Structure 1
Amino acid sequence: MIDREVADLNPTRTGSADRTGSWNWQDDFGAWLAGTNRDRVIQGAADKENKRLQQLYSGQAQTNSETLGPLAPRYTGNTEGLTVQEIDARIAQDRLRGETFVAASANPNFRGSTLDPNSGVGAITAAVSAGNQDKEDKDKAERNAETRRQEGRQEGAERRQSQRELGIESRARDQRNHELSLSRLDSREARLRAAESDQLTLQLEYARLGQRDRERRADRKDKAMMMLLQGLGNLGAGFTI
Protein backbone atom coordinates (compact mmCIF):
# COMPACT_ATOMS: atom_id res chain seq x y z
CA MET A 1 0.00 0.00 0.00
CA ILE A 2 2.86 2.45 0.80
CA ASP A 3 4.62 1.68 -2.50
CA ARG A 4 1.38 2.25 -4.39
CA GLU A 5 0.72 5.58 -2.62
CA VAL A 6 4.23 6.95 -3.44
CA ALA A 7 3.06 7.55 -6.99
CA ASP A 8 -0.01 9.40 -5.71
CA LEU A 9 1.80 11.89 -3.44
CA ASN A 10 1.45 15.60 -4.12
CA PRO A 11 4.55 17.45 -5.50
CA THR A 12 5.81 18.40 -2.02
CA ARG A 13 5.06 14.94 -0.56
CA THR A 14 3.07 16.46 2.26
CA GLY A 15 -0.02 14.44 1.44
CA SER A 16 -1.92 12.58 -1.22
CA ALA A 17 -2.80 14.16 -4.52
CA ASP A 18 -6.26 12.76 -4.02
CA ARG A 19 -6.70 11.81 -7.61
CA THR A 20 -9.92 10.09 -8.54
CA GLY A 21 -9.61 6.41 -7.86
CA SER A 22 -6.33 6.72 -6.00
CA TRP A 23 -7.87 5.56 -2.70
CA ASN A 24 -11.13 3.61 -2.38
CA TRP A 25 -13.08 1.44 0.01
CA GLN A 26 -10.83 -1.50 -0.77
CA ASP A 27 -7.84 0.54 0.45
CA ASP A 28 -9.72 1.41 3.60
CA PHE A 29 -10.48 -2.29 4.18
CA GLY A 30 -6.91 -3.33 3.46
CA ALA A 31 -5.60 -0.67 5.84
CA TRP A 32 -7.99 -1.91 8.53
CA LEU A 33 -6.79 -5.45 8.06
CA ALA A 34 -3.18 -4.24 8.33
CA GLY A 35 -3.97 -2.39 11.53
CA THR A 36 -3.37 1.07 10.06
CA ASN A 37 -5.21 3.85 8.26
CA ARG A 38 -4.94 6.11 5.25
CA ASP A 39 -3.03 8.93 6.98
CA ARG A 40 -0.34 6.55 8.24
CA VAL A 41 -0.02 4.93 4.83
CA ILE A 42 0.35 8.30 3.08
CA GLN A 43 2.92 9.44 5.70
CA GLY A 44 4.86 6.23 5.11
CA ALA A 45 4.83 6.90 1.37
CA ALA A 46 6.07 10.48 1.97
CA ASP A 47 8.87 9.31 4.28
CA LYS A 48 9.97 6.67 1.77
CA GLU A 49 10.01 9.13 -1.16
CA ASN A 50 11.82 11.81 0.86
CA LYS A 51 14.49 9.27 1.83
CA ARG A 52 14.88 8.24 -1.81
CA LEU A 53 15.27 11.87 -2.95
CA GLN A 54 17.76 12.61 -0.16
CA GLN A 55 19.90 9.69 -1.27
CA LEU A 56 19.53 10.76 -4.88
CA TYR A 57 20.74 14.31 -4.25
CA SER A 58 23.24 13.59 -1.46
CA GLY A 59 26.21 13.41 -3.85
CA GLN A 60 25.46 16.79 -5.44
CA ALA A 61 24.80 18.35 -2.03
CA GLN A 62 28.15 17.05 -0.72
CA THR A 63 30.01 18.38 -3.76
CA ASN A 64 28.39 21.80 -3.39
CA SER A 65 29.13 21.98 0.33
CA GLU A 66 32.83 21.45 -0.40
CA THR A 67 32.94 24.52 -2.67
CA LEU A 68 30.64 26.84 -0.74
CA GLY A 69 33.16 27.54 2.02
CA PRO A 70 31.54 29.75 4.69
CA LEU A 71 28.31 30.05 2.70
CA ALA A 72 25.19 28.30 3.87
CA PRO A 73 23.78 25.88 1.24
CA ARG A 74 20.38 26.63 -0.21
CA TYR A 75 19.77 22.87 -0.31
CA THR A 76 20.57 21.35 3.09
CA GLY A 77 19.76 17.72 2.23
CA ASN A 78 16.24 17.84 3.63
CA THR A 79 13.66 17.34 0.87
CA GLU A 80 10.52 17.69 2.95
CA GLY A 81 8.18 20.38 1.68
CA LEU A 82 10.19 20.90 -1.52
CA THR A 83 9.24 19.91 -5.03
CA VAL A 84 11.78 18.16 -7.20
CA GLN A 85 12.00 21.32 -9.31
CA GLU A 86 12.74 23.38 -6.19
CA ILE A 87 15.40 20.91 -5.10
CA ASP A 88 17.02 21.03 -8.55
CA ALA A 89 16.90 24.84 -8.53
CA ARG A 90 18.49 25.08 -5.08
CA ILE A 91 21.20 22.62 -5.99
CA ALA A 92 21.89 24.55 -9.19
CA GLN A 93 22.08 27.78 -7.18
CA ASP A 94 24.51 26.17 -4.72
CA ARG A 95 26.62 24.86 -7.60
CA LEU A 96 26.83 28.33 -9.17
CA ARG A 97 27.45 29.98 -5.80
CA GLY A 98 30.22 27.47 -5.06
CA GLU A 99 31.87 27.91 -8.45
CA THR A 100 31.69 31.70 -8.05
CA PHE A 101 33.12 31.48 -4.53
CA VAL A 102 36.01 29.28 -5.65
CA ALA A 103 36.81 31.64 -8.53
CA ALA A 104 36.58 34.65 -6.20
CA SER A 105 38.87 32.96 -3.66
CA ALA A 106 41.66 32.99 -6.28
CA ASN A 107 41.67 36.78 -5.94
CA PRO A 108 43.96 37.77 -3.03
CA ASN A 109 41.81 40.83 -2.39
CA PHE A 110 38.69 38.74 -1.78
CA ARG A 111 37.69 38.19 1.87
CA GLY A 112 35.19 35.35 1.80
CA SER A 113 34.96 35.16 5.59
CA THR A 114 33.22 38.52 5.65
CA LEU A 115 30.35 37.37 3.47
CA ASP A 116 26.86 36.81 4.79
CA PRO A 117 26.28 33.01 4.80
CA ASN A 118 23.23 33.49 2.57
CA SER A 119 25.08 35.57 -0.02
CA GLY A 120 24.28 34.90 -3.65
CA VAL A 121 26.38 35.24 -6.77
CA GLY A 122 25.79 38.99 -6.93
CA ALA A 123 26.99 39.50 -3.35
CA ILE A 124 30.09 37.36 -4.00
CA THR A 125 31.08 39.32 -7.12
CA ALA A 126 30.33 42.56 -5.27
CA ALA A 127 32.67 41.42 -2.48
CA VAL A 128 35.39 40.82 -5.07
CA SER A 129 34.90 44.33 -6.45
CA ALA A 130 34.89 45.75 -2.92
CA GLY A 131 38.10 43.89 -2.10
CA ASN A 132 39.76 45.17 -5.25
CA GLN A 133 38.61 48.69 -4.43
CA ASP A 134 39.83 48.39 -0.84
CA LYS A 135 43.22 47.21 -2.11
CA GLU A 136 43.36 50.05 -4.60
CA ASP A 137 42.40 52.56 -1.90
CA LYS A 138 44.99 51.08 0.45
CA ASP A 139 47.70 51.19 -2.21
CA LYS A 140 46.72 54.76 -3.06
CA ALA A 141 46.80 55.72 0.61
CA GLU A 142 50.23 54.11 0.98
CA ARG A 143 51.47 55.90 -2.14
CA ASN A 144 50.11 59.19 -0.82
CA ALA A 145 51.67 58.52 2.57
CA GLU A 146 55.00 57.70 0.92
CA THR A 147 54.71 60.85 -1.18
CA ARG A 148 54.04 62.87 1.96
CA ARG A 149 57.01 61.21 3.67
CA GLN A 150 59.21 62.00 0.68
CA GLU A 151 57.92 65.56 0.59
CA GLY A 152 58.43 65.81 4.34
CA ARG A 153 62.00 64.57 4.02
CA GLN A 154 62.59 66.95 1.12
CA GLU A 155 61.08 69.84 3.05
CA GLY A 156 63.16 68.88 6.08
CA ALA A 157 66.32 68.78 3.96
CA GLU A 158 65.45 72.10 2.37
CA ARG A 159 64.66 73.57 5.79
CA ARG A 160 67.97 72.33 7.20
CA GLN A 161 69.78 73.66 4.14
CA SER A 162 68.01 76.98 4.54
CA GLN A 163 68.94 77.04 8.21
CA ARG A 164 72.54 76.28 7.33
CA GLU A 165 72.53 79.03 4.74
CA LEU A 166 70.90 81.41 7.21
CA GLY A 167 73.52 80.42 9.76
CA ILE A 168 76.29 81.05 7.24
CA GLU A 169 74.75 84.40 6.32
CA SER A 170 74.35 85.28 9.99
CA ARG A 171 77.97 84.41 10.74
CA ALA A 172 79.08 86.30 7.65
CA ARG A 173 76.99 89.29 8.74
CA ASP A 174 78.45 89.10 12.23
CA GLN A 175 81.91 88.89 10.71
CA ARG A 176 81.21 91.92 8.52
CA ASN A 177 79.84 93.81 11.51
CA HIS A 178 82.91 92.84 13.51
CA GLU A 179 85.19 93.91 10.71
CA LEU A 180 83.22 97.13 10.34
CA SER A 181 83.51 97.72 14.06
CA LEU A 182 87.23 97.09 13.86
CA SER A 183 87.43 99.37 10.85
CA ARG A 184 85.55 102.05 12.71
CA LEU A 185 87.79 101.55 15.71
CA ASP A 186 90.86 101.68 13.48
CA SER A 187 89.48 104.78 11.80
CA ARG A 188 88.84 106.40 15.15
CA GLU A 189 92.28 105.48 16.36
CA ALA A 190 93.69 106.77 13.09
CA ARG A 191 91.81 110.03 13.54
CA LEU A 192 93.04 110.26 17.11
CA ARG A 193 96.58 109.57 15.97
CA ALA A 194 96.19 112.09 13.18
CA ALA A 195 94.84 114.66 15.65
CA GLU A 196 97.68 113.94 18.03
CA SER A 197 100.13 114.21 15.14
CA ASP A 198 98.54 117.46 14.00
CA GLN A 199 98.68 118.79 17.55
CA LEU A 200 102.31 117.77 17.90
CA THR A 201 103.08 119.30 14.51
CA LEU A 202 101.33 122.47 15.58
CA GLN A 203 103.26 122.50 18.86
CA LEU A 204 106.50 121.97 16.97
CA GLU A 205 105.57 124.76 14.59
CA TYR A 206 104.75 127.01 17.51
CA ALA A 207 108.05 126.06 19.13
CA ARG A 208 109.91 126.69 15.87
CA LEU A 209 108.19 130.01 15.42
CA GLY A 210 108.95 130.89 19.02
CA GLN A 211 112.55 129.88 18.52
CA ARG A 212 112.82 131.94 15.36
CA ASP A 213 111.20 134.87 17.16
CA ARG A 214 113.69 134.55 20.03
CA GLU A 215 116.53 134.26 17.54
CA ARG A 216 115.34 137.41 15.74
CA ARG A 217 115.07 139.27 19.03
CA ALA A 218 118.52 138.03 20.00
CA ASP A 219 119.89 139.11 16.61
CA ARG A 220 118.33 142.52 17.00
CA LYS A 221 119.68 142.74 20.48
CA ASP A 222 123.13 141.70 19.30
CA LYS A 223 123.03 144.15 16.46
CA ALA A 224 121.95 146.93 18.81
CA MET A 225 124.69 145.97 21.15
CA MET A 226 127.19 146.00 18.32
CA MET A 227 125.99 149.40 17.18
CA LEU A 228 126.18 150.65 20.70
CA LEU A 229 129.68 149.30 21.15
CA GLN A 230 130.68 150.72 17.80
CA GLY A 231 129.25 154.05 18.76
CA LEU A 232 131.09 153.99 22.03
CA GLY A 233 134.23 153.02 20.16
CA ASN A 234 133.83 155.93 17.80
CA LEU A 235 133.12 158.19 20.72
CA GLY A 236 136.24 156.96 22.53
CA ALA A 237 138.32 157.53 19.42
CA GLY A 238 137.03 161.04 19.20
CA PHE A 239 138.04 161.81 22.69
CA THR A 240 141.42 160.30 22.02
CA ILE A 241 142.00 162.55 19.11
Structure 2
Amino acid sequence: LEECLVAAKESDHWNSPLGDTPAGKARGRGIASAYWMNGGGKSTCDLMMQDDGTVMMNEGSADIGGTRTSIAMQAAEVLGIPVEDFHPSIPDTDSIGFTGVTGGSRTTYTTGLAAYNAAQKLVDELKERVAELWETETDKVDFSDGIFSANGDSIGIQELAGKLDPTGGPATSTASVNLAEAGNAYSVQICDLEVDLATGKTDVIRYTAVQDVGKAV
Protein backbone atom coordinates (compact mmCIF):
# COMPACT_ATOMS: atom_id res chain seq x y z
CA LEU A 1 0.00 0.00 0.00
CA GLU A 2 2.83 2.39 0.81
CA GLU A 3 4.24 2.06 -2.72
CA CYS A 4 0.81 2.80 -4.20
CA LEU A 5 0.42 5.90 -2.03
CA VAL A 6 3.87 7.16 -3.00
CA ALA A 7 3.13 6.59 -6.70
CA ALA A 8 -0.16 8.46 -6.36
CA LYS A 9 1.52 11.35 -4.52
CA GLU A 10 4.16 11.63 -7.24
CA SER A 11 1.69 11.32 -10.14
CA ASP A 12 0.99 14.12 -12.58
CA HIS A 13 -2.66 13.97 -11.60
CA TRP A 14 -2.07 14.64 -7.89
CA ASN A 15 0.34 17.45 -8.66
CA SER A 16 -1.87 19.20 -11.22
CA PRO A 17 -4.43 21.91 -10.37
CA LEU A 18 -8.13 21.21 -10.75
CA GLY A 19 -8.41 23.90 -13.38
CA ASP A 20 -10.93 26.68 -13.74
CA THR A 21 -14.42 25.84 -12.50
CA PRO A 22 -17.24 26.81 -14.90
CA ALA A 23 -19.98 29.08 -13.58
CA GLY A 24 -22.72 27.21 -11.76
CA LYS A 25 -20.53 24.19 -11.07
CA ALA A 26 -18.21 22.94 -8.36
CA ARG A 27 -15.10 20.82 -8.66
CA GLY A 28 -13.35 18.59 -6.18
CA ARG A 29 -10.66 15.94 -5.91
CA GLY A 30 -10.82 12.80 -3.83
CA ILE A 31 -8.47 9.95 -3.04
CA ALA A 32 -9.26 6.46 -1.79
CA SER A 33 -7.41 3.21 -1.17
CA ALA A 34 -8.56 -0.39 -1.34
CA TYR A 35 -7.28 -3.92 -0.95
CA TRP A 36 -8.28 -7.44 -1.92
CA MET A 37 -7.27 -10.72 -0.30
CA ASN A 38 -5.98 -13.03 -3.02
CA GLY A 39 -7.14 -16.62 -2.80
CA GLY A 40 -5.41 -19.99 -2.73
CA GLY A 41 -7.02 -23.42 -2.55
CA LYS A 42 -6.84 -26.53 -4.73
CA SER A 43 -6.07 -26.74 -8.46
CA THR A 44 -4.91 -29.40 -10.91
CA CYS A 45 -3.25 -29.32 -14.33
CA ASP A 46 -2.34 -32.09 -16.81
CA LEU A 47 0.21 -31.75 -19.63
CA MET A 48 0.64 -34.07 -22.62
CA MET A 49 3.46 -33.57 -25.14
CA GLN A 50 2.50 -34.47 -28.70
CA ASP A 51 4.77 -35.88 -31.43
CA ASP A 52 4.76 -32.55 -33.27
CA GLY A 53 6.13 -30.67 -30.26
CA THR A 54 2.85 -29.09 -29.21
CA VAL A 55 1.47 -29.54 -25.71
CA MET A 56 -2.09 -30.41 -24.72
CA MET A 57 -3.01 -28.80 -21.40
CA ASN A 58 -6.04 -29.70 -19.32
CA GLU A 59 -6.88 -27.47 -16.36
CA GLY A 60 -9.93 -27.19 -14.17
CA SER A 61 -10.50 -23.44 -13.95
CA ALA A 62 -13.15 -21.87 -16.16
CA ASP A 63 -11.71 -19.18 -18.43
CA ILE A 64 -12.40 -15.70 -17.08
CA GLY A 65 -10.65 -13.00 -19.04
CA GLY A 66 -8.09 -15.20 -20.80
CA THR A 67 -6.87 -17.41 -17.96
CA ARG A 68 -6.29 -20.35 -20.30
CA THR A 69 -3.59 -18.23 -21.91
CA SER A 70 -2.08 -16.89 -18.67
CA ILE A 71 -1.89 -20.42 -17.23
CA ALA A 72 -0.39 -21.84 -20.44
CA MET A 73 2.21 -19.04 -20.44
CA GLN A 74 3.55 -20.20 -17.09
CA ALA A 75 4.02 -23.79 -18.27
CA ALA A 76 5.41 -22.66 -21.63
CA GLU A 77 8.07 -20.54 -19.91
CA VAL A 78 9.30 -23.58 -17.97
CA LEU A 79 9.41 -25.76 -21.09
CA GLY A 80 11.00 -23.10 -23.27
CA ILE A 81 8.46 -23.38 -26.07
CA PRO A 82 6.13 -20.75 -27.58
CA VAL A 83 2.79 -20.42 -25.83
CA GLU A 84 1.22 -20.59 -29.30
CA ASP A 85 2.20 -24.28 -29.31
CA PHE A 86 0.02 -24.94 -26.26
CA HIS A 87 -3.54 -26.21 -26.69
CA PRO A 88 -5.32 -25.53 -23.39
CA SER A 89 -8.70 -27.04 -22.63
CA ILE A 90 -11.08 -27.14 -19.69
CA PRO A 91 -12.60 -30.63 -19.37
CA ASP A 92 -15.59 -31.54 -17.25
CA THR A 93 -15.11 -32.28 -13.56
CA ASP A 94 -14.97 -36.05 -14.18
CA SER A 95 -11.84 -35.61 -16.31
CA ILE A 96 -9.55 -33.42 -14.18
CA GLY A 97 -8.36 -33.45 -10.59
CA PHE A 98 -10.27 -31.32 -8.10
CA THR A 99 -10.03 -27.60 -8.79
CA GLY A 100 -11.63 -25.01 -6.54
CA VAL A 101 -13.77 -22.03 -7.40
CA THR A 102 -12.76 -19.92 -10.37
CA GLY A 103 -12.13 -16.33 -9.31
CA GLY A 104 -10.09 -13.36 -10.37
CA SER A 105 -7.96 -13.49 -7.23
CA ARG A 106 -6.89 -17.16 -7.36
CA THR A 107 -7.05 -18.68 -10.84
CA THR A 108 -3.83 -17.42 -12.45
CA TYR A 109 -2.01 -17.77 -9.13
CA THR A 110 -3.17 -21.23 -8.02
CA THR A 111 -3.98 -23.05 -11.26
CA GLY A 112 -0.95 -21.34 -12.76
CA LEU A 113 1.27 -22.88 -10.09
CA ALA A 114 -0.25 -26.30 -10.82
CA ALA A 115 0.68 -25.77 -14.49
CA TYR A 116 4.17 -24.63 -13.51
CA ASN A 117 4.68 -27.71 -11.34
CA ALA A 118 3.32 -30.00 -14.06
CA ALA A 119 5.82 -28.49 -16.51
CA GLN A 120 8.68 -29.09 -14.08
CA LYS A 121 7.59 -32.72 -13.73
CA LEU A 122 7.40 -33.04 -17.52
CA VAL A 123 10.99 -31.80 -17.79
CA ASP A 124 12.05 -34.44 -15.26
CA GLU A 125 10.24 -37.13 -17.25
CA LEU A 126 11.89 -35.98 -20.48
CA LYS A 127 15.32 -36.00 -18.86
CA GLU A 128 14.82 -39.72 -18.23
CA ARG A 129 13.81 -40.22 -21.86
CA VAL A 130 16.88 -38.32 -23.10
CA ALA A 131 19.11 -40.40 -20.84
CA GLU A 132 17.63 -43.57 -22.34
CA LEU A 133 18.07 -42.33 -25.91
CA TRP A 134 21.67 -41.27 -25.31
CA GLU A 135 22.51 -44.20 -23.05
CA THR A 136 23.66 -42.02 -20.20
CA GLU A 137 22.63 -41.31 -16.62
CA THR A 138 19.66 -39.04 -15.92
CA ASP A 139 21.60 -36.81 -13.53
CA LYS A 140 24.01 -35.97 -16.36
CA VAL A 141 21.21 -34.48 -18.48
CA ASP A 142 20.79 -30.71 -18.17
CA PHE A 143 17.86 -28.60 -19.33
CA SER A 144 17.85 -24.87 -20.04
CA ASP A 145 15.79 -22.62 -22.34
CA GLY A 146 14.10 -25.55 -24.05
CA ILE A 147 17.33 -27.49 -24.73
CA PHE A 148 18.44 -30.81 -23.23
CA SER A 149 22.18 -31.45 -23.18
CA ALA A 150 24.56 -34.13 -21.95
CA ASN A 151 28.10 -35.24 -22.80
CA GLY A 152 28.41 -32.74 -25.64
CA ASP A 153 25.07 -33.64 -27.26
CA SER A 154 21.99 -31.40 -27.30
CA ILE A 155 18.41 -31.53 -28.55
CA GLY A 156 15.48 -29.12 -28.40
CA ILE A 157 12.42 -30.16 -26.46
CA GLN A 158 10.13 -29.94 -29.49
CA GLU A 159 12.50 -32.00 -31.63
CA LEU A 160 12.73 -34.53 -28.82
CA ALA A 161 8.94 -34.88 -28.82
CA GLY A 162 9.10 -36.68 -32.17
CA LYS A 163 11.68 -39.19 -30.92
CA LEU A 164 9.92 -40.49 -27.80
CA ASP A 165 8.28 -43.64 -29.19
CA PRO A 166 11.26 -45.95 -28.47
CA THR A 167 11.34 -44.67 -24.87
CA GLY A 168 7.72 -45.43 -24.00
CA GLY A 169 5.58 -43.16 -26.15
CA PRO A 170 4.24 -39.67 -25.41
CA ALA A 171 5.34 -37.95 -22.21
CA THR A 172 2.71 -36.71 -19.76
CA SER A 173 2.61 -35.11 -16.34
CA THR A 174 0.08 -33.92 -13.79
CA ALA A 175 0.32 -31.72 -10.72
CA SER A 176 -2.05 -30.60 -7.99
CA VAL A 177 -1.62 -27.86 -5.39
CA ASN A 178 -3.43 -26.72 -2.26
CA LEU A 179 -2.21 -23.24 -1.43
CA ALA A 180 -2.71 -20.89 1.45
CA GLU A 181 -3.95 -17.43 0.52
CA ALA A 182 -1.49 -15.14 -1.21
CA GLY A 183 -0.63 -11.68 0.04
CA ASN A 184 -3.12 -8.85 -0.30
CA ALA A 185 -3.29 -6.64 -3.38
CA TYR A 186 -3.67 -2.87 -2.99
CA SER A 187 -4.76 0.11 -5.05
CA VAL A 188 -5.08 3.87 -4.73
CA GLN A 189 -7.54 5.92 -6.80
CA ILE A 190 -7.55 9.66 -7.51
CA CYS A 191 -10.75 11.17 -8.88
CA ASP A 192 -11.67 14.69 -10.01
CA LEU A 193 -15.40 15.45 -10.13
CA GLU A 194 -17.45 18.32 -11.46
CA VAL A 195 -20.97 18.88 -10.08
CA ASP A 196 -23.71 21.01 -11.63
CA LEU A 197 -25.04 22.97 -8.65
CA ALA A 198 -28.49 23.39 -10.21
CA THR A 199 -29.19 19.82 -11.32
CA GLY A 200 -26.76 17.76 -9.26
CA LYS A 201 -25.41 16.12 -12.42
CA THR A 202 -21.93 14.81 -11.68
CA ASP A 203 -19.18 14.23 -14.23
CA VAL A 204 -15.83 12.50 -13.75
CA ILE A 205 -13.32 14.80 -15.41
CA ARG A 206 -10.14 12.93 -14.51
CA TYR A 207 -9.36 9.58 -12.92
CA THR A 208 -6.09 7.83 -12.07
CA ALA A 209 -5.75 4.29 -10.72
CA VAL A 210 -2.56 3.00 -9.10
CA GLN A 211 -2.61 -0.80 -8.90
CA ASP A 212 -0.35 -3.20 -7.01
CA VAL A 213 -0.32 -5.98 -9.61
CA GLY A 214 2.53 -8.04 -8.21
CA LYS A 215 4.30 -9.89 -11.01
CA ALA A 216 2.15 -9.34 -14.08
CA VAL A 217 1.63 -12.43 -16.26
Would you say same fold, with TM above 0.5?
A: no
Could you state the TM-score of these two structures normalised by the residue count of structure 1? 0.22
Kindly indicate whether structure 1 or structure 2 has the higher relative contact order, using CA contacts under 8 Å at least 6 residues apart: 2
User: Could you say which structure has the larger radius of gyration?
Assistant: 1
Higher strand share: 2
